[in-house]
């Protein structure tokens, strides 16, 4: 015996049955075998249940749900009956979620993922570039000392040529002790600022910039002091006697002696004269203030003011000692600040890191060198600090922002 059931869903478009539905129902009653059509389905008895069981008359729609497969048929179409199998009905099928075309017969769904993209760090350390910048600064420093060793032989005799007219020097007497005060301020400012930069989170980038900027500043100084030699600004300054001639060996000895004293006279090693245009003392004092104000947190404004006061005090002491002409100090200030600000303007704006007709800063002769050292740095450096050493571990805390 075969049981004829209506499909899972019927047309709910109207409440009252139509004449076509009544005639169709009567035809089914006269047909014991149940002629199959798009609105009927035949259900065979289960293998473990006899065909003449009395439960057939009690078959419910829930039993039909139990017999449906758990996995969706990949050949099913969309909700509106647009299936792969031919059908003459446009009735609505309440199926599961539409299976993507990429689904397989075992129920697995393949999702196309984009290829992995390797994220480059915004602020790479690039330690080799930092080492290269340090080497460049060393050669620039040696070139400056070599220039001073040669200029010493060309300095006008202080017994014959008096100091040039200067508004400040002509009205203020010379205090020889003031030069030592200025150099002690330089020693303090340099050491403390370098220690602060060691604890910077991006210390290798910071030191790379320090080395490159100091290379440019001392290269300029080597040129300016060599092309124009001025008379001594202080007749009491001790100068080594001239050799009335130069040789490579003598130049090497002078350079070694100056390097042993780090270019300072407080330790008695700076005994060669003529390094006036422009002032190296002013360069260092100005540079340390700019360094602290640029890379330390803004909330440490008291520290910024302290370094500004120290810089001004060091320059004043330098002038009181008559160690430099006023023009030396002015040129040193302008060269240091303009070079520092130009470099960091280029470094902080990625759009300026390219040669273009509208980027006039790209016409600097050192711009290609800048692109090599700063090409991979994206934007301004955050003012963050961390512990630079692997010990002790308890000090490896999260970086502090500004």
Average pLDDT by stretches of 10, the chain with 402 residues: 50 51 50 46 46 50 60 51 46 47 57 65 85 96 94 89 92 92 95 94 94 96 94 88 84 90 82 89 96 93 95 96 94 97 93 89 92 88 86 59 52
Q: Evaluate whether residue 313 is within a structural domain.
A: yes
Residues 255 and 340 in one domain: yes
- Best CA proximity match to 286, nearest among 244, 339, 336: 336
Q: Which of 324, 344, 396, 401 is catalytic?
A: 324
How far is residue 261 from each of residues 21, 78, 250, 255, measured CA to CA in Å? 112, 87, 17, 10
Q: Evaluate whether residue 139 is within a structural domain.
A: no
Q: Which of 300, 328, 345 is the last residue of a domain?
A: 345
The CA distance from 97 to 159, in Å, is 102
Residues 63 and 148 in one domain: no
Residues 8 and 154 in one domain: no
* 328 a catalytic residue: yes
Tokens found for residue 368: 């290609």
The CA distance from 129 to 127, in Å, is 5
Tokens found for residue 306: 């302290």
pLDDT for 34? 45
Residues 193 and 50 in one domain: no
Residues 186 and 273 in one domain: yes
Residues 196 and 324 in one domain: yes
Q: Which of 328, 344, 355, 401 is catalytic?
A: 328
How far is residue 279 from each of residues 254, 264, 295, 321, 367, measured CA to CA in Å? 20, 12, 24, 13, 25
Residues 163 and 272 in one domain: yes
Q: Evaluate whether residue 179 is within a structural domain.
A: yes
Place of tokens 């060091």: 314
Q: Evaluate whether residue 159 is within a structural domain.
A: yes
pLDDT for 63? 62
Q: Evaluate whether residue 390 is within a structural domain.
A: no
Q: Evaluate whether residue 339 is within a structural domain.
A: yes
- How crowded is residue 22: how many other Cβ atoms within 10 Å of its Cβ? 10
CA angle, residues 282, 402, 374, in degrees to nearest 5: 60
Q: Evaluate whether residue 219 is within a structural domain.
A: yes
180-199 burial, b if ≥16 CB within 10 A, otherwise e? ebbbebbeebbebbeebbee
Domain range for 297: 144-345
Domain count, the chain: 2
Residues 55 and 180 in one domain: no
> CA torsion, points 341, 383, 200, 259, in degrees to nearest 10?
20
Q: Which of 67, 83, 101 is the last residue of a domain?
A: 67
Q: Evaluate whether residue 78 is within a structural domain.
A: no
Residues 162 and 57 in one domain: no
Q: Per the omega criterion (within 30 degrees of 0), is the bond before 223 cis?
A: no
* 152 a catalytic residue: no
Q: Are 302 and 335 contacting, i.e. CB atoms less than 8 angstroms apart?
A: no
Residues 39 and 148 in one domain: no
Phi first, then psi, for residue 320 (nearest 5°) are: -65, -30
Residues 61 and 153 in one domain: no
* 281 a catalytic residue: yes
Residues 47 and 170 in one domain: no
Q: Which of 48, 67, 86 is the last residue of a domain?
A: 67
How far is residue 70 from each of residues 85, 171, 212, 219, measured CA to CA in Å? 20, 103, 70, 80
Q: Which of 200, 202, 270, 281 is catalytic?
A: 281
């Amino acid at each position: 015996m075969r049981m004829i059931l209506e499909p899972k869903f019927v047309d709910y478009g109207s409440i009252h049955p139509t004449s076509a539905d009544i005639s169709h129902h009567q035809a089914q009653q006269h047909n014991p075998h149940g002629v199959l059509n798009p609105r009927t389905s035949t259900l065979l008895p289960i293998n473990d249940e006899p065909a003449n069981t009395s439960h057939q008359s009690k078959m419910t729609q829930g039993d039909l749900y139990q017999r449906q497969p758990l996995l969706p048929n990949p050949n099913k179409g969309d909700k509106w009956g647009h299936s792969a199998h031919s059908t003459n009905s446009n009735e609505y099928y309440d199926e599961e979620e539409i299976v993507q075309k990429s689904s397989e017969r075992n129920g697995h769904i393949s999702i196309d993922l984009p290829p992995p993209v390797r994220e480059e760090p915004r602020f790479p350390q690039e330690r080799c570039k930092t080492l290269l910048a340090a080497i460049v600064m060393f050669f620039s420093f040696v070139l400056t000392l070599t220039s001073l060793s040669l200029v010493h032989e060309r300095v006008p005799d202080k017994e014959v040529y008096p100091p040039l007219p200067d508004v400040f020097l002509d009205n203020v007497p010379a205090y020889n002790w003031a030069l030592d005060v200025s150099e002690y301020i330089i020693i303090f400012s340099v050491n403390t600022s370098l220690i602060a930069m060691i604890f910077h989170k991006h210390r290798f980038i910071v030191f790379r910039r320090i080395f490159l900027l100091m290379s440019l500043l001392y290269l300029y100084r080597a040129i300016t002091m060599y092309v124009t030699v001025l008379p001594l600004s202080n007749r009491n300054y001790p100068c080594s006697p001239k050799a009335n001639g130069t040789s490579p060996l003598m130049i090497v000895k002078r350079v070694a002696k100056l390097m042993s004293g780090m270019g300072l006279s407080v330790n008695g090693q700076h005994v060669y004269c003529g390094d006036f245009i422009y002032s190296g003392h002013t360069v260092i004092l100005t540079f340390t203030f700019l360094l602290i104000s640029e890379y330390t947190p803004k909330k440490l404004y008291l520290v910024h003011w302290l370094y500004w006061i120290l810089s001004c005090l060091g320059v004043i002491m330098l002038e009181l000692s008559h160690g430099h002409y006023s023009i030396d100090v002015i040129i040193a200030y302008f060269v240091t600040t303009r070079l520092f600000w130009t470099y960091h303007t280029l470094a902080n704006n990625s759009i300026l890191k390219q040669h273009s007709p509208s980027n006039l800063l790209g016409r600097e002769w050192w711009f290609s060198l800048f692109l090599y050292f700063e090409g991979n740095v994206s934007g301004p450096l955050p003012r963050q600090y961390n512990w630079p050493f692997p010990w002790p571990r308890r000090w490896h805390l999260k970086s502090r922002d500004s």
